[in-house]
Amino acid sequence: MNIQAKLELGNQAFLDWRKVSFEERQKLFSKMAELMRSDVDKYAVTITKEMHKPITQSIAEINKSAGMLDYYANCENVLAPEKIETEFNVSEVHQAPLGVILGVMPWNFPFWQVLRFAVPAILAGNVVVLKHASICFGSGRLIEELFVQAGFPEAVFQNFEVGHKEIQEILESPYVQGVSLTGSGKAGGEVASIAGKNIKRSVLELGGSDAYIVLDDAEILKAAKEAPRGKLQNTGQVCNAAKRFLIQKSVENEFIPAFVEEYKTYVPGDPMDKNTRISKMARKDLADELLAQYDKAIANGAEIVLPLERLSDQELKPGIIKVKAGNPILQEELFGPLAMLMVGETDEELLTLANDIPFGLGNAIWTKDKKRAQFFIDNLDSGTVSINKSTSSDARLPFGGAKQSGYGVELSTVALKEFTITKTIVGNI
């Protein structure tokens, strides 16, 4: 692949695409949503074959992605010039697109993650080049095909089947004006360093270790039944999954048995079977890493509630460990079917446990008391706080993190401005 030639092609496409009206761009996304819904199974089967997601969850990912396309196809144009009252007769704020934007995207949601970055960037007038995870090149091809079939001009979206070594070359190209990465902290740091050195915009979504906080006035059994799904969707390979279950001590003996009972119902199975709720991990090395973290946690005092057991190279029987503050495993993200339980006496102690990690993506709080909920809303260090529900992303709402979970926003109309220049127009004419 001649990377620079394709980037030049993207830049040429940008020079025309930025002149297309917001409303005309929206029509193409509406068409794209129709195309996705017309062949859901094809896209879902590709996801499942590539990274082993249970087929019903792959179908749900495609439908959710189509719903996001609908949202942007009908959203308010927040990029329209804004008039500001001053002493001048021309006083406006405009939003101008940047140009070619690189997306470095992960394997865990091969369509959703790509599109939640690419759609608002392209709707804002930019063009996109995708570097997808190597196990999801097939998904990348299908997404590029969808853009073509929907009628987008050539090179508005390009799928680059390249390795990590090529990211620096792409990002350092004068044609590329920004990057969005979803992935590990290590990858995010490396890409942000290249972007910063070259004075280019970056958005990073780097995962988390979300707290699922259950207070003593919550609907305990409802919270316990919901908790395993919040952890084990996509075999626990979700950046904003519930990873640490922080339980008030007074309801520990009520919550934990119900939680464990429901957790045991998640049994690894054939990802193509529509009854399967949990399957293999995406790669063998990811299972190896999770088992090593499990051993590390136990070596540092964690108590086994349910053992994490290897059934095959990539298949793990879900586990639960009970962890105390100070265990070094709390400084890491557990990306797979291993949950951590923690117990705290007071609201203040639970808040401290929730915040005492490097990450800050999304937390959930379970309580019937608005005042207690507000205490956590005001003080949790995270991009999202969910109330009496598991954390999840929604096209209508901004999604982003704090601390080492990254910076910048995806989704909602807020994301439309991430890769734009704010241009002030002022004077008399």
Orientation of helix 137-150 relative to helix 40-51, angle to 10°: 160
For β-strands 338-344 and 157-160, DSSP reports them as unpaired
C-alpha torsion sign, points 213, 219, 225, 226: negative
Distance of CA 77 to the CA centre of its chain: 24
Contacts of 129 (CB under 8 A, 6+ apart): 6, 7, 10, 100, 101, 102, 103, 157, 158, 159, 160, 170, 176
Distances (CA, A) of 250 to 218, 228, 387, 404: 12, 21, 20, 32
Active site residue 239: yes
Please name every residue paired with 247 in a beta bridge, in sequence order, or none if there are none.
Answer: 214, 343
Catalytic residue selected from 61, 136, 226, 239: 239
| C-alpha to C-alpha distance for 380 and 403, rounded to whole angstroms | 12
In three-state form (DSSP H/G/I as H, E/B as E, the rest C), the secondary structure along 272-327 is: CCCCCCCCCCCCHHHHHHHHHHHHHHHHCCCEEEECCEECCCCCEECEEEECCCCC
| C-alpha to C-alpha distance for 161 and 50, rounded to whole angstroms | 15
Q: Are 109 and 122 in contact (CB under 8 A)?
A: no
Tokens describing residue 144: 């590029």
210 SS3 class? strand
Give 59's Cβ-side CA count (13 Å radius): 11
Active site residue 303: no
Phi, psi of 10 (to 5 degrees): -60, -40
| C-alpha to C-alpha distance for 116 and 410, rounded to whole angstroms | 6
Determine how many CB atoms are found less than 10 A away from the CB of residue 69: 26
Catalytic residue selected from 50, 61, 205, 333: 205
DSSP string for residues in 145-157: HHHHHHTPPTTSE
Residues identified as active-site: 205, 239
